[in-house]
Structure 1
Amino acid sequence: MPLAALIVITILAHSAFNGSRVTISLYALSLGASPLTVGFFISLYSALPMFLGVAAGRMIDRVGMRRPLLVSTTVLVCAVALPGLVPTLYPLYVAAACIGTSFMVFHIAVQHMVGETSTDENRRNNFGWLALGFATSNFIGPVLSGFSIDLLGHRETFLILASLAATSLFLVYRWRNQLRHTVHDKPPAAHGGAIELLRIAELRRVFICTGLLASAWDLFVFAMPIYGTSIGLSASTIGLILGSFAVATFIVRLALPWLTRHIREWTMITLTFGVALLAYTIFPFVSSVMLLAAIAFLLGLGLGATQPSVMSLMYTTAPEGRAGEAMGVRSTVLNVSHTFLPLLFGGAGSALGMGPVFWTMAGLLAVGGKIADRRRREVSAQGSG
């Protein structure tokens, strides 16, 4: 399948996924649900993928990518459409769990396909184009949902989002015979499961860095509205600051094809840790809207740039026939962050304020930056030797 077609399929499916999170939250509130209930809905998006990510990766290693893509996109269509067809609160539980789980399988399969169909020379560049697709749908899904809810209503919005997923499914089916279908029926003999992958030093470093950078991303999206409110900013102003972050991620991913030709993987990851560390260190000292937007933009440039480097390292380091499993471990790490970080930092912020929360994140980023920089120096020494 051409990379451009795969990116279009991903944008459509991810727009439906992202838009559904906004729509489920607002629809539940309109039905009288409490904020706690809404929080539970959102946690369902990540709870099952947190436990099933590794198994999904192993399945994709075993059966290839064609069937997982077809089945996961079909489930995504049905799950997104369900609240529009059954307009009560209870179907939202089923919808949230099925949307999150189906997109997790879709996500791993798409990333595995990009890795497997790329060469060593263009793999990081191709992951950069895929990351740009995700940045595009990060904007389309929520914006489309917001306008659609205001103009048409919640039920109609679910059906519109389902139509995006259905278009993605149609394109997957249309291109199914051109999907590279590599089956790994016989994985390596020494198969110690996910723990064995964690024993590989390079993969372990990638998983640690992935978890820390995902936490930095999640904390910003979660904590910026709380911090903004605490210093008296309006909702629209907070939205503009969050928008500054989103625009930066799009811009840096647009530049990734050039960046990946000039900056090596561990250098890019080290720079990202440095940028994020700086941003979180100075956040609590800033109350100016322009400065907050500038810091958010800087943070977006850093955090938006690392995915291709991480994915390229993961794919080339994973044992033969187990790249999907490695991506499943990464998915589990990400979903642990999505599930527990808001609860952990939310409780700390309530007790201590957001300043200590930001500085704690900065300390963790310093540790990650040291790990990444040590590896960067090792790779540089090997290259010069």
Structure 2
Amino acid sequence: MSRTPIYLITLMCALNHSGFGGSRVAISLYALELGVNQFTVGILMALYALSPMLLAVAIGRFADRVGPRLPMLLGTVGVGVALVLPPIFPGVATLYVVAFLLGSTFPLFFVTVHGMTGDIGAPEDRARNYALVSLGFSAAGFVGPFSAGLAIDHIGHLPAFMVLAAFTVAPALLLWLRPGFLPKRAPHVAAKGASALDLWRIPRLRNTFLASGILSAAWDLFQFYLPVYGHQIGLSASAIGAILAVFALATFIIRLGLPRLSRRYREEGIITGAFFVAAFAFALFPFFQHAVALAACAFVLGLGLGCGQPMSMSLIYVLSPRGRAAESSGLRVMVNNVMHLVVPVAFGSLGTAFGYMPVFLSNTAMLVGAGELIRRGLR
């Protein structure tokens, strides 16, 4: 079977997520430029998570029912439209709207991709497919923040949003004009009255949701707080973007080796190990202020967090009832975004009140405790 579909989907993931991921840097730094405090930046980042927390399961059911093209197209166009709003309507109020719109539309693309990737090719291709998609997201994690930082430094905050919006044009045209490469939707077999709680009651599936949520919270805190910390210690937007790009490069590297790693260790064991590596990296951050040292810490963090998410995506597809993979992906996104909603507000408040040191060390403690809890659960 041709490998073209999975490569096109990976390319779309890289482009769309470059715009979406770069928006976090652009919104954070533009808000700080306008004079807001850390708590307000935390609120803006939390708005990314509000809609996915409430709607991700419904989005998954919608994708299972209608197929991948429509939700992916709506999500792509929605991200592009949201990103052009700040240059048209500058100000803090617009950033609240933009953060909410980005959080509402990107999951239409994100949830659908995760639910359908396992349907491409033969069952033995599944691990490779999820590895490729995760590589696309990792590449975007490098390109998006780095592009945002460079654009802010060289052409200004507001034009940077237009640069990020441009990433969504090619995926939107591809989905609109040439959607034939997308897989056919699997038969939807959920019984009438079936609920997401049925999926939550599957023990291994529930454990995977929880592990994914905690890792995602750590990822989100880094993406949110590194720009705040970097701004506070006087780093340029380019330097902040470069540190975030190094983090993304590490996730890309570790994901290249995931197929070999998964042949030697259980998925759950890999995810557990990721907690302890990530905790170690977070503990290092508050002791450094030089960009190179912070980039080294970010690289270690990327190695820890980069392997957990694709392993959880593949495991969720395997454990999901047939025809409910996108719904399971939606439930995963919902759990992740509960954490996305809580973490920026909680740690933004902590940083405003007590400074940056407690933010990093508290997250370290959370990761160590959660990793130990999950490790004991595997016995």
TM-score class, shorter: 0.7 to 0.9
53, 56, 59: which one pairs with 1:56? 59
Deviation at 1:146, TM superposition (A): 2.6
Partner of 1:129: 132
Contact 1:124 1:260 in 2 (8 A): no
Q: Deviations along 1:131-183, whole A, 9 cap, x unmatched?
A: 11111111211222232334334444333322221111012224312211315
Task: Give the aligned residue type for 1:149.
Answer: I
Rounded to whole Å, the distance in 2 between the matches of 1:188 and 1:305 is 34
Deviation at 1:228, TM superposition (A): 7.3
Partner of 1:217: 219
Deviation at 1:339, TM superposition (A): 1.9
Deviation at 1:29, TM superposition (A): 5.2
Partner of 1:147: 150
Q: Which moved more, 1:271-280 or 1:350-359?
A: 350-359
Rounded to whole Å, the distance in 1 between the matches of 2:172 and 2:147 is 19
326, 329, 337: which one pairs with 1:327? 329
Rounded to whole Å, the distance in 1 between the matches of 2:353 and 2:108 is 37
Partner of 2:118: 115
Q: Percent identity?
A: 41
**Pair 1:266-2:238 in alignment:** no
Partner of 1:164: 167
Contact 1:83 1:91 in 2 (8 A): yes
Deviation at 1:61, TM superposition (A): 1.6
Alignment length (residue pairs): 372
Partner of 2:375: 373
313, 317, 341: which one pairs with 1:315? 317
Partner of 1:41: 44
Partner of 1:101: 104
Contact 2:142 2:244 in 1 (8 A): no
**Pair 1:201-2:203 in alignment:** yes
Rounded to whole Å, the distance in 2 between the matches of 1:162 and 1:238 is 20
Rounded to whole Å, the distance in 1 between the matches of 2:187 and 2:293 is 51
TM-score by length of 2: 0.84
Deviation at 1:107, TM superposition (A): 0.4
Partner of 1:66: 69
Task: Give the aligned residue type for 1:52.
Answer: L
Task: Give the aligned residue type for 1:235.
Answer: L
Contact 1:132 1:250 in 2 (8 A): yes
Residues 141 and 228 from structure 1, CA distance in 2 versus in 1: closer, same or farther, beyond 3 angstroms? closer
Q: Deviations along 1:80-133, whole A, 9 cap, x unmatched?
A: 223334456544443332222111111011111212225432322221111111
Any idea what SS the aligned residue of 2:84 has? Answer: helix
Rounded to whole Å, the distance in 2 between the matches of 1:33 and 1:283 is 25
Q: Which moved more, 1:294-303 or 1:60-69?
A: 294-303
Larger radius of gyration: 1
Contact 1:11 1:136 in 2 (8 A): yes
303, 306, 323: which one pairs with 2:305? 303
Deviation at 1:188, TM superposition (A): 2.9
Contact 1:276 1:365 in 2 (8 A): yes
Matches within 5 A, 1:174-189: 174-182=177-185, 184-189=187-192
Q: Which moved more, 1:81-90 or 1:64-73?
A: 81-90
Residues 95 and 184 from structure 1, CA distance in 2 versus in 1: closer, same or farther, beyond 3 angstroms? farther
Rounded to whole Å, the distance in 2 between the matches of 1:275 and 1:66 is 38
Any idea what SS the aligned residue of 1:34 has? Answer: coil
**Pair 1:84-2:87 in alignment:** yes
The gaps in structure 1 that reach 5 residues or longer are 378-385
Rounded to whole Å, the distance in 2 between the matches of 1:214 and 1:41 is 17
Contact 1:69 1:109 in 2 (8 A): yes
Residues 208 and 181 from structure 1, CA distance in 2 versus in 1: closer, same or farther, beyond 3 angstroms? same
How big is the alpha-carbon RMSD for the aligned residues of Structure 1 and Structure 2? 3.1
Rounded to whole Å, the distance in 2 between the matches of 1:210 and 1:154 is 33
Deviation at 1:48, TM superposition (A): 1.7
Partner of 1:343: 345
Rounded to whole Å, the distance in 1 between the matches of 2:91 and 2:295 is 39
Rounded to whole Å, the distance in 1 between the matches of 2:111 and 2:259 is 22
Deviation at 1:70, TM superposition (A): 1.6
Task: Give the aligned residue type for 2:36.
Answer: S
Deviation at 1:282, TM superposition (A): 6.1
Contact 2:22 2:147 in 1 (8 A): yes
Deviation at 1:58, TM superposition (A): 1.5
Contact 1:125 1:308 in 2 (8 A): no
Partner of 1:248: 250
Rounded to whole Å, the distance in 1 between the matches of 2:81 and 2:228 is 34
Deviation at 1:224, TM superposition (A): 5.2
